[in-house]
Each structure stands twice: as structure tokens, then as C-alpha cells.
Amino acid sequence: MAKSLPNRTSRFDAFLYLYERQTDHFDALLKYGVNIPFGVTYNQLAERWGWDRKTVMSFLKSLHRMGVLEVKRASRNIEIRILNLACVPQETNLETLDNSS
């Protein structure tokens, strides 16, 4: 298993960041079933996580294929919405998500 670079965020921590980013501002709305996306850029995520832009895109695409989130282009940003945490199989290890396109 490859070791992470010292300043590189793990995939698990990156996912937690996405989850916390969505729920931080909208806790009250989530209680009523409203799930509002948040805006960010690939470059912002890449810088925050210590990844390259292609890795960020691949990671988000993997989560989208699993049905966990949706990603939509919006002007200069992307909008990310967590859809359903129940879609993540318990045996899924976010550290080993496929990095292929």
C-alpha cells in the first residue's frame, strides 16, 4: 500500500470535509429534508487537500458513480450535493477508490 504524502489529505478525510462543508451551513434545512448543494472549485479542493486537480475530479467522479453525491458545473464553480450516505457500502474503503476516469 502506498503511503500518503505528509501534507496530503486522505480520501476519507476529504469525504468528511465535503460532508461537513454541506452540513455546517444547512443543519436546520437538513432536518426538513432540504439538501442544498455548496459551491467550490476543483482548484480550491486540490489546494486544500494537497492533491492535483485530476485526482480531485477522479475522486468526486468515483463518489458520484457510487450514488453518494452529485456534482454539477455552475458558472466557474462546481456544486456538490451529498445525496445518500446509505449508498456507501460498509465494506467500501474510501482510501482505495478507483482513481481512473
Residue 1 counted as domain residue:
no
Query: What domain range is 76 assigned to?
Result: 11-86
| Structure confidence by residue, pLDDT tens digits, 36-77 | 788 899 999 999 999 999 999 999 999 999 888 999 998 889
- The CATH number of the domain holding residue 44 is 1.10.10.10
The model carries a pTM of 0.72
Residue 53 counted as domain residue:
yes
Residue 56 counted as domain residue:
yes
Question: Does 58 or 34 have the greater pLDDT score?
Answer: 58
**pLDDT score for 85:** 64
Counting the structural domains of the chain, the total is 1
Q: Show contacts of 55-61: CB within 8 Å, 24+ apart.
A: 55/99, 57/101, 58/98, 58/99, 58/100, 58/101, 59/11, 59/14, 59/97, 59/99, 61/101
